[in-house]
Amino acid sequence: MNEIEEARKKEIRDQWKMLPLVVVLFVLFVGLYVVLLQESVYIRGEQIWGATKGIWFIVVIALGGLAIAFICLSASVIFYIGMIAINLNTKAHPWKPLMLSVGILVLGYSILSMALYAESFVREHADVINSWYEYRIGEGFIHWIVSGVWLHGVIFLTLFLLGVIVICMKLPFWAKDHANFIKDRKKIS
C-alpha cells in the first residue's frame, strides 16, 4: 500500500510541475481563438482578412510549431541521453548526443526559415488568395462551412503541436524509467 501511495503522490507532483506550462498554453489557445474570430488582423503593419487569415495561421502554426518542437527536442536529447547514461552507470559518447542535437537544431532552424518565408509569401499575396476564395466559394452556407473547418483545423493543429512540444520537453524526465527498462531487458537477456 505504501508503494502505491508513493506512486500516486509522485504522479500528482509531476502533474503540478506542468501547471505553469498548461496556463501559458491555455492563454495562447484562447488568444488564438479570439484572433481567428476577428474580422481582420494586422500583422507586421499589413491587414490580413478573410481566407488569407486562415491560411496564414495554418502556415505559421504548422511550420512554426514544428520548428519549435525540433528546437525543444534538440535540447531535450542532450539531457535525456545524459540522464540515461547516469542511471545506467555508464558514460555516453561525448560527441554523438551533441551531433544528434545539432542536427535536430539545424533541421528546426531550417523549418523556421521556411515558415518565415511562407508567412511573408502569404502576406504579400493576400489579395490574390482572397479574390480566389471569393470567386470559388463565395458567400453563404458553403463559406461558413469552409471557415469553420479552417478554424477547427487550426485549433486541432495547434493542440497537436503543443502536445508534441510538451512531450519533447518531458523527455528528460522519463530517462530514469527508460533506464530501468533497459536494465530489466539486460537482465532478461
CA 127 to chain centre: 29
Query: What is the per-residue pLDDT across 134-167, written as a single tens digit (0 to 9) for each?
Result: 655 556 677 677 777 877 787 788 888 888 888 8
Give me the DSSP letters along 114-175: HHHHHHHHHHHTHHHHHHHHHHHT-SSHHHHHHHHHHHHHHHHHHHHHHHHHHHHHHGGGGH
- Is 0.85 surpassed by the pTM of this model? no
Cell of 119: 508567412
Strands 40-43, 46-49: pairing kind: antiparallel
Main-chain dihedrals φ then ψ at residue 42, nearest 5 degrees: -100, 120
Identify the sign of the CA torsion 102, 103, 104, 106. positive
| pLDDT surpassing 70 at residue 170 | yes
CA distance 189 to 184: 9
State the helix-helix crossing angle for 19-37 and 2-17, rounded to 10 degrees: 40
Query: What is the per-residue pLDDT across 89-111, written as a single tens digit (0 to 9) for each?
Result: 888 887 888 899 999 999 999 99
Q: Name the nearest CA neighbour of 176 among 83, 67, 99.
A: 83
Query: What is the per-residue pLDDT across 41-80, written as a single tens digit (0 to 9) for each?
Result: 787 787 887 777 878 888 888 888 899 899 999 989 988 9
